[in-house]
Amino acid sequence: MSLHILKERYEIVRQLAKKTGIKTLLARDLKTDELVVVKLLTFNSEVSWEELKLFEREVNTLRNLSFSAIPSYIDFFEVALPDKKGLALVQTYIEADSLEQQVENRGIFNEEEVKQLAKSVLKILVYLQERNPSVIHRNIKPSNILLTNRSGNNIGDVFLIDFGTVQTLASTEEESSTIVGTYGYMAPEQFAGRAAAASDLYGLGATLIYLLTGKSPLYLSQEEEIIELEQIKNCSGEFSEWLNKLLEPSQNKRFKSAAKALKSLENLSSTTLSNYSQSFSKKVLITKSANAIEILTPCQKNVDSSMAHFLVTSYVGIFYGIFSTPLVASLENIFQSIVLSYGFIHPYSLAGLSILVASLYLYVNIWLKIIINILFISFGKNKLKIDDKRVYFTYKLLGLEYRYRPSIPRHAIIKLDSNQGKIAEVVIWLGIHKYGFGKGFLNSNQAAWLSRELSNWLGAKTNY
């Protein structure tokens, strides 16, 4: 048997990774013509008894797992070469980038993306922890989580790999001295050779920090082993509190299980949306489809005067359209009375009639302006619509719409901001120009949330 083809079935394509005594190889299964991963442990002086035990445990664990987000066990066999012997584990190959590669290639994640990813990983951990006995991964980190099919609207498909440090709760009572994991992502209790379900939650929390910052937690400020999340700018207060509970140095203060952490995160999301709903969903309405997104917000005080003129003129026209017939009839009766009384049109009566008509017009015009200003404050809406091709800006009031600036091509959008200065607002940069909305009724968290909603739909990078 040569190293080029193992078991006369697995043709080696290339090496994926290597560490002491273990090579991870990409191979082609000649039986199925599919790519697979072969983890090859060769017996030599570098391989310890502990590493052999971990390898066998990985084989036994994968053999008994069946979950779409975890590599599937395919084969296990001994390797006998002229100069050495070893063991080979064959598992399915997942063609995807790790979170580490994603950050390097595309930059940091925003909070909404991190929440989606956290839910996906927690579902995997729930499956592992509900096994009998429970399975602890012990090495949750960015390079061991793969992501594929990521788009602007969706985080994509998430996979957890590398079960080389796996442990079951049944074995934790027998072993208390093995230290495995990666610095920065290891829970404090793992340094003492102990691990529990909450240990994987710590690793997940540290991974999420990396996604938000692009830095290993080792390089972030810490106070008594607690990572100071205040330094993470693109993270809301509610989510920071949830992360803090994952990253508690004491495992007794963390969530007891992935299921509880997942439930808390889902409640956090719904609570946050509920709070937003109570505070401003009546003010902000988002309508999304595959082809368009519309955001309705209250009109701001500095409404374009041309728009007000347009609506006043429209409503005056409507008024006269409705009341013109009875009004003209009344004026004709007055005119006839004057003729019958005087036998001619008295100059003063004609002047009075003209003044009456002009006063009536001005009266209606002025009161309509006053009413419309009140309606703007109470019911007016600023409408932003983006479809596949263009961006539209309109005002809406009582069924009428006025486009107050020309539409522009969608590709003119270069970035989004959630301005968190003295007055929070969402800003869309259109080339060298910017368009802001939400000023005066959004707080900084709401502006950041609304910006993320728009950014996720557009698939654009958001600047927080």
Q: What's the CATH superfamily of 5-92?
A: Phosphorylase Kinase; domain 1 (3.30.200.20)
Please answer whether residues 115 and 265 qualify as being in contact, where contact means their C-beta atoms are separated by less than 8 angstroms.
yes
Alpha-carbon torsion, ordered 58, 64, 70, 73, to 10 deg: 70
Joined tokens for residue 304: 């374009």
Please answer whether residues 447 and 420 qualify as being in contact, where contact means their C-beta atoms are separated by less than 8 angstroms.
yes
Say what the pLDDT of residue 94 is: 95
Angle (CA) 234 141 183, round 5°: 100
Joined tokens for residue 390: 């263009």
User: What is the number of alpha carbons within 13 Å of residue 133 lying toward its C-beta?
Assistant: 14
Please answer whether residues 118 and 264 qualify as being in contact, where contact means their C-beta atoms are separated by less than 8 angstroms.
no
Beta pairing partners, 416? 428, 462
Cα 277 from Cα 370, distance rounded (Å): 30
**pTM recorded for the entire structure:** 0.61
- Print pLDDT tens along the chain (464 aa): 456 899 999 999 999 998 878 899 999 999 999 999 999 998 887 777 888 888 999 999 999 999 999 999 999 999 987 778 899 999 999 999 999 999 999 888 988 889 999 999 999 999 999 999 999 999 999 999 999 988 866 788 999 999 998 988 765 544 544 667 788 899 989 888 888 999 999 999 999 999 998 888 877 655 555 666 656 766 777 888 899 999 999 999 999 999 999 999 988 755 444 444 444 444 677 776 667 888 877 765 444 444 445 555 555 555 555 544 555 556 556 655 655 555 555 555 556 556 666 666 666 666 666 665 666 555 677 788 888 888 888 887 666 777 777 888 888 887 777 665 557 778 888 777 777 777 766 766 667 777 777 776 776 444 44
Fold (CATH) for 97-280 = Transferase(Phosphotransferase); domain 1 (1.10.510)
Cα 264 from Cα 422, distance rounded (Å): 32
Say what the pLDDT of residue 317 is: 55
- Identify the CA nearest to 418 among candidates 380, 464, 359: 464
Joined tokens for residue 331: 């004026």
Helix (H/G/I), strand (E/B), else coil: 208: helix
Cα 194 from Cα 169, distance rounded (Å): 10
Helix (H/G/I), strand (E/B), else coil: 436: strand
DSSP state, residue 143: G
Cα 61 from Cα 89, distance rounded (Å): 12
Please answer whether residues 239 and 111 qualify as being in contact, where contact means their C-beta atoms are separated by less than 8 angstroms.
yes
Q: Which of the listed CATH numbers 1.10.3470, 3.30.70, 2.30.30, 2.30.29 matches domain 285-300+380-458?
A: 2.30.29
Say what the pLDDT of residue 306 is: 47
DSSP 299-310: PPSS--HHHHHH
